[in-house]
Amino acid sequence: MASAETQGKAGDSPGPLVQGGRTERLLLAMAPVKDVLSAFCEESKGGGGSAEDRLGIFAQDAFAALVEPPWDDPFGPSDRYLKQLVNRFVRLVEGTERTDLSSDALAGLLARASLVPAGSGAPDPLASCYLSFFLDRDGGPGGDGPVFSLHPLRIRVFPDHNDVALRLWEAGSVLAEYLAEHREIASGRALLELGSGCGATGLVAAAACGPKSVHLTDYTEACRLNLEHNLLVNREWVERHGFSPGKITQGYLEWKSFLEDYAAHAAASSGGDGDQPDAANGPAANADANADANADASPSDGATMKAFLEADVLLAADVIYDINAIDDLVHVVKYFLSESPDSKQAIIASTKRNSATFEFFLETIAKYGMLYTWIARGEDCEALPRIFEGNFVQERRDVSICRIHTASFRES
Ligand SMILES: C[S@@+](CC[C@H](N)C(=O)[O-])C[C@H]1O[C@@H](n2cnc3c(N)ncnc32)[C@H](O)[C@@H]1O
């Protein structure tokens, strides 16, 4: 395992495994254990010999060295996951005829795995772990190929908690990867995200795209605490990528209640009764003056209202699943665009699960007089360079990304 202070280039391998290489990355992202092990077998080919030889003592030692540091790392994968990985590796070794469990290091790991409670009993909803992801940067000083930063993005998740906001979802991951490949969407712009969950999409957008600012929003208390935590533990990471950590913030925004807050805010700004909140020259101009008052008057904090009014691009991922919430969500998007219909846009990534819900989402966009354009679908999403190697329920090709805009929107 490479030290956190080193940087390695692909192919720069002192042993059988490439530092910061694929196996290590998959392991730290808690990718499916079968994928970690096939990457391990592939990568340890450098050690020579047949596939069976590679599972001999040399590879057993290398495997133990790979798993041991994450096990000691408070920012590592969960114990249950590491136990599954060790057990599966052992089964792989035992399945070959020419090798047996001959490594002391592997025996030590096995002993450790046996101490992890089996999956009996109810899963602990308060058990958390970290998923780590690496944002490759181009070039380096010589500009000769990718340089892997061994400082990962750390995302704390609660795999067994029933709050959907405490896990990572395909659409959020794919949206982050899409933005990293199409930096022009976010570069120099103020971003506001709805339903940010663990914050991974916004953190990657901050680090990869050079936006003006990023404001993440969500609504459950558990989610907001976790979001704040993830922003805190990644301050150094975003800074390393040239983004000031003070410019990525988070706040409360619940879609239904925000509609009322926005109407009240618009009324306060215009001196009217709040019936027409979507005038083109809306309340953005008064945002500073109203921010503090709004913080007292409504659950949407003033900073969030201000960020909503001032943002250029609204982002949201995996927010289309509850048919009862769609009208409010799309209405929030309409209010957002109405502040500056020629230049504001919303980029929404969705995983198609239920056709009726998805159709309703598209119909609601039309109902509110907005247009949508698909900017990545199916294979486009599948083909994006991976940052998030996680263990997702659905395929990336089930994700679609659309831009919602008004008829007068002009891309710049
Ligand atoms: C499936 S999760 C997606 C999280 C994250 N965007 C991702 O892709 O990993 C849906 C998110 O929408 C948020 N959400 C659901 N209903 C909401 C509402 N009425 N107001 C605000 N956020 C909501 C949830 O709290 C959760 O964070």
pLDDT tens sequence across 54-75: 677 778 888 999 999 899 888 9
Which residue has the least CA distance to atom 25 on ligand 1? 165
Both 308 and 386 in one domain: the answer is yes
**Binding site membership of 172 for ligand 1 (Cβ less than 6 Å):** yes
Domain count for the chain: 2
Ranges under pLDDT 50 in the chain: 1-16, 138-148, 273-298
Both 99 and 134 in one domain: the answer is no
Which residue has the least CA distance to atom 1 on ligand 1? 318
Mutating to test ligand 1, I would choose from 153, 318, 387 the residue with most ligand atoms within 8 A of its C-beta, which is 318
Both 134 and 105 in one domain: the answer is no
Residue 401 lies in a domain: yes
Q: What is the 198 CA–ligand 1 centroid distance (Å)?
A: 9
pLDDT the model gives residue 149: 53
Kindly report whether the global pTM for this prediction surpasses the value 0.75: yes
Q: What is the 163 CA–ligand 1 centroid distance (Å)?
A: 9
Mutating to test ligand 1, I would choose from 217, 218, 259, 396 the residue with most ligand atoms within 8 A of its C-beta, which is 218
Residue 333 lies in a domain: yes
pLDDT the model gives residue 67: 93
CATH of the domain at 317: 3.40.50.150
Spatial separation of the C-alpha atoms in residues 190 and 307, rounded to whole Å: 8
pLDDT the model gives residue 392: 86
Which range marks the domain in which residue 261 is found?
129-140+149-265+299-406
Rg of the chain over all Cα atoms, to the nearest angstrom: 24
Among 264, 299, 301, residue whose Cα is nearest residue 283 = 264
Q: What is the pLDDT of residues 332-387, one digit of tens each?
A: 999 999 989 989 999 999 998 899 999 999 999 999 999 999 999 999 999 999 99
**Binding site membership of 325 for ligand 1 (Cβ less than 6 Å):** yes
pLDDT the model gives residue 62: 87
In ligand 1, which atom is closest to the CA atom of 256? 19
pLDDT the model gives residue 19: 61
Spatial separation of the C-alpha atoms in residues 155 and 164, rounded to whole Å: 15
Among 407, 333, 320, 323, residue whose Cα is nearest residue 365 = 333
**Binding site membership of 319 for ligand 1 (Cβ less than 6 Å):** yes
Among 99, 70, 74, 103, residue whose Cα is nearest residue 1 = 70
Residue 272 lies in a domain: no
Residue 365 lies in a domain: yes
Q: What is the pLDDT of residues 2-15, one digit of tens each?
A: 333 333 333 333 34
Both 201 and 327 in one domain: the answer is yes
HSE-CB of 115 using CA atoms within 13 angstroms: 7
Both 236 and 369 in one domain: the answer is yes
In ligand 1, which atom is closest to the CA atom of 328? 19
Which residue has the least CA distance to atom 12 on ligand 1? 195
